[in-house]
C-alpha cells in the first residue's frame, strides 16, 4: 500500500513515479488535471492528431477565442484611461478636484486591483474560468457607467477603487486561457496580439473622446461631455461581457463550438506544454514553491519597476501632449498614433519572438526604443513640439518587455496553483508600480514633469538588467534539466503532463526563452 507523502495525500490509488534519481513523487489521482478524466473515459482508445487536423483546430480556436479576448482587452485599457480623456473635458472642474486629488484618482484604481488580485486569482482557479471572467467584465462595465453620476471626489474614489477590483481578473484570466488553449510555441504571439489591443483602445478612445469634445462644443449636450465618454465605454463593455459569456468556455471540455471528438483533440494538442488544462485543487506545496522560486521575485520586481513609468504615462499622456503646445482637442486626437505604435511593437515582438525562440531578447528592442523616446522628451528644446511628440510616441513600445514576461508565466510556470500564485504576484507588482507612477508627476513640476521623465529613464534601465538576468537563469535551468534527462537511469512517466506537476518537479519541462 502507498504511504502518505509530505503533502498529506495517500491511499492505494496513489501513483508512484520516479522522475529522476533525486526526485521521487507521489500523486493522488484526485489531484490530477481535469483532462486526465477525459482521457480515462477513452479506455485506451488511440488519439490521432495529424498536422492538418491541428491547423484546423487552431483556426477554430483562434476564430472563437481571440477576437473577443482582443476586444475586451481594448476596453480593459480604455476603461482605465477614460479618466485621462475626461481630465481635459471638464471632469476636474465639475468634481472640484484640487492639489493632487487627480493623481490619487489615477492611483486608486490600482489600490482596488492590488487588494483583489490574489483573491481573484484563487477564484479563477476554483470557479469556472469563462463564467467568472465574464461576470467580472459585466460588473466593471456597470461600474464605469456609474461614473457619469459622480458629483464629487468621494464618489470618484469609490468608482475607481471598485473598477480596479473587477478588472483585476482580466489579465491573469487571459493568461490562463492562453496557456489552456495554445501550445508554448503559439502562446507568445497570441499574448502579444491580445495585449496589443491596449493600443487599439487608445486609438478608439482618442477618436471617440475627440468626436465627443468637438461635437458637444459645436452643438451642445444635455450632460457634460466627460460623462458621455464614461457612458459610452461602460455600455460597450457590458455588451462585450455578454458576448464573452456566450463564446468563451471554461475549458475545452465544455466548448459548445467544438464537436465532442474535437474537444479531446483540442486537449491532446496542448499536452506538449506539460501543464494540463486546469486543476481546481489548491496545493500548498506549489504555493510555497512559487514563493521560493527566484524567478517569481525577478518577475515581481520587474513588474513593479516597469509599471512606475506606465502608471504615470497612462494617466498623464493627455496633459503631456498638451504641454508640447497643443490644444485640449488636439491632445485627444494626437494621442491616437501612440496606440498604433504600441500595436505594431507588440505584434512584431510576438511574431519575431516566437519565430526566433527568443521572446526575452526580442522584447528588449521595444524597451530601448521607449527609453530613447523619453530622452527626446527631456532633452529636446521646448519649441520642438513635433520632436517631443515623436518621443512620446516611441515610449509606447515599452510594453513589449512586460508582455514577454506575461507570456512566460503562461509558458514557463507549471502547476496550476503555482501558475496562479506567480501570476497574482506579477500583477500585484504591476499594481504597485502603477500606484507609484502617477505620484511621480508632481503638480509643482507641471507642465513639463522633467523629474518624472528622469524616473522613467532610470526604471527602464533597471528593467533591462532584470530581463538579462531572467534570460540567463532560464538558459541555466534548461541545461540542468537536459543533463538530468540524458542520464541512463532517468525514467519518463507516461501521462505525467496531466498530473499537475510544477516546472521544477517535471524534468521533461523545458523553459521558453
Domains and CATH numbers, the chain: 51-498 (1.20.1250.20)
In tens, the pLDDT along 424-482 reads: 999 999 889 988 887 888 777 777 777 888 899 999 999 999 999 999 999 999 999 99
Question: To which H or E segment does residue 37 belong?
Answer: helix 34-40
Worst-scoring range by mean pLDDT, 11-20, 274-283, 338-347? 11-20
Residue 272: pLDDT band with limits 50, 70, 90: confident
pLDDT at 4: 40
Report the chain's mean pLDDT, rounded to a whole number: 83
User: Phi/psi at 73 (nearest 5 deg)?
Assistant: -70, -30
pLDDT at 8: 40
In tens, the pLDDT along 229-246 reads: 889 999 999 999 999 999
Three-state DSSP state, 225: helix
User: Which alpha helices (DSSP H) does 324-443 contain, by range?
Assistant: 328-334, 336-356, 359-379, 385-395, 399-412, 416-439
pLDDT at 3: 40
pLDDT at 449: 76
In tens, the pLDDT along 273-308 reads: 666 666 677 889 999 999 999 999 999 999 999 999
pLDDT at 466: 96
Q: Which residue from 173, 182, 180 is spatially nearest to 420, judged by alpha carbons? A: 173
Mean pLDDT of 201-224: 81
pLDDT at 56: 93
Mean pLDDT of 183-199: 90
Residue 197: pLDDT band with limits 50, 70, 90: very high
Between 382 and 20, where is the model more confident? 382
How many angstroms separate the CA atoms of 258 and 416, rounded?
A: 24
Q: Which residue from 291, 285, 252 is spatially nearest to 31, judged by alpha carbons? A: 285
- The model's pTM: 0.80
Is the Cα dihedral 506, 250, 71, 302 positive or negative?
negative
Amino acid at each position: 500500500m502507498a504511504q502518505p507523502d509530505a503533502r498529506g495525500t495517500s491511499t492505494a490509488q496513489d501513483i508512484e513515479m520516479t522522475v529522476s534519481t533525486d526526485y521521487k513523487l507521489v500523486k493522488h489521482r484526485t489531484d490530477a488535471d481535469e483532462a486526465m478524466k477525459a482521457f480515462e473515459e477513452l479506455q485506451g482508445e488511440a488519439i490521432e492528431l495529424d498536422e492538418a487536423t491541428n491547423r484546423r483546430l487552431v483556426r477554430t480556436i483562434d476564430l472563437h477565442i481571440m477576437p473577443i479576448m482582443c476586444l475586451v482587452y481594448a476596453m480593459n485599457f480604455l476603461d482605465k484611461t477614460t479618466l485621462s480623456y475626461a481630465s481635459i473635458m471638464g471632469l476636474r472642474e465639475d468634481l472640484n478636484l484640487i492639489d493632487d486629488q487627480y493623481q490619487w484618482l489615477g492611483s486608486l484604481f490600482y489600490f482596488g486591483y492590488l487588494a483583489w488580485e490574489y483573491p481573484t486569482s484563487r477564484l479563477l482557479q476554483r470557479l469556472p474560468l469563462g463564467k467568472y471572467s465574464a461576470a467580472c467584465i459585466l460588473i466593471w462595465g456597470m461600474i464605469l457607467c456609474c461614473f457619469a453620476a459622480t458629483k464629487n471626489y468621494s464618489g470618484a474614489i469609490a468608482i475607481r477603487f471598485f473598477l480596479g477590483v473587477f478588472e483585476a481578473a482580466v489579465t491573469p484570466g487571459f493568461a490562463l486561457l492562453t496557456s489552456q488553449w495554445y501550445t508554448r510555441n503559439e502562446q507568445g504571439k497570441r499574448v502579444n496580439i491580445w495585449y496589443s489591443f491596449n493600443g487599439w483602445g487608445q486609438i478608439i478612445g482618442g477618436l471617440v473622446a475627440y468626436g465627443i469634445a468637438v461635437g458637444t462644443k459645436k452643438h451642445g449636450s444635455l450632460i457634460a461631455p466627460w460623462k458621455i465618454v464614461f457612458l459610452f465605454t461602460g455600455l460597450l463593455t457590458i455588451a462585450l461581457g455578454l458576448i464573452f459569456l456566450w463564446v468563451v468556455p471554461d475549458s475545452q471540455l465544455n466548448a459548445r463550438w467544438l464537436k465532442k471528438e474535437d474537444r479531446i483533440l483540442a486537449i491532446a494538442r496542448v499536452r506538449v506544454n506539460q501543464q494540463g488544462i486546469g486543476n481546481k485543487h489548491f496545493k500548498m506545496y506549489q504555493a510555497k514553491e512559487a514563493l521560493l522560486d527566484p524567478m517569481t521575485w525577478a518577475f515581481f520586481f520587474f513588474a513593479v519597476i516597469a509599471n512606475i513609468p506606465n502608471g504615470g504615462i497612462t494617466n498623464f499622456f493627455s496633459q503631456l501632449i498638451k504641454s508640447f503646445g497643443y490644444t485640449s482637442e488636439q491632445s485627444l486626437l494626437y494621442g491616437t498614433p501612440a496606440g498604433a505604435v504600441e500595436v505594431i511593437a507588440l505584434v512584431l515582438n510576438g511574431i519575431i519572438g516566437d519565430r526566433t525562440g527568443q521572446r526575452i531578447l526580442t522584447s528588449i528592442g521595444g524597451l530601448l526604443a521607449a527609453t530613447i523616446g523619453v530622452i527626446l522628451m527631456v532633452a529636446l528644446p521646448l519649441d520642438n513640439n513635433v520632436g517631443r511628440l515623436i518621443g512620446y510616441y516611441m515610449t509606447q513600445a515599452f510594453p513589449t518587455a512586460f508582455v514577454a514576461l506575461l507570456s512566460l508565466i503562461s509558458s514557463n510556470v507549471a502547476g496550476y496553483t503555482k501558475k496562479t500564485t506567480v501570476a497574482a504576484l506579477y500583477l500585484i507588482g504591476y499594481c504597485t508600480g502603477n500606484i507609484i507612477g502617477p505620484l511621480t508627476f508632481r503638480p509643482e513640476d507641471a507642465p513639463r514633469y522633467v523629474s518624472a521623465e528622469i524616473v522613467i529613464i532610470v526604471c527602464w534601465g533597471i528593467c533591462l538588467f532584470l530581463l538579462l538576468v531572467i534570460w540567463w537563469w532560464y538558459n541555466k535551468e534548461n541545461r540542468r534539466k537536459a543533463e538530468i534527462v540524458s542520464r541512463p537511469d532517468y525514467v519518463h512517466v507516461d501521462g505525467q503532463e496531466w498530473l499537475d506537476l510544477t516546472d521544477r518537479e517535471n524534468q521533461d519541462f523545458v523553459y521558453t526563452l
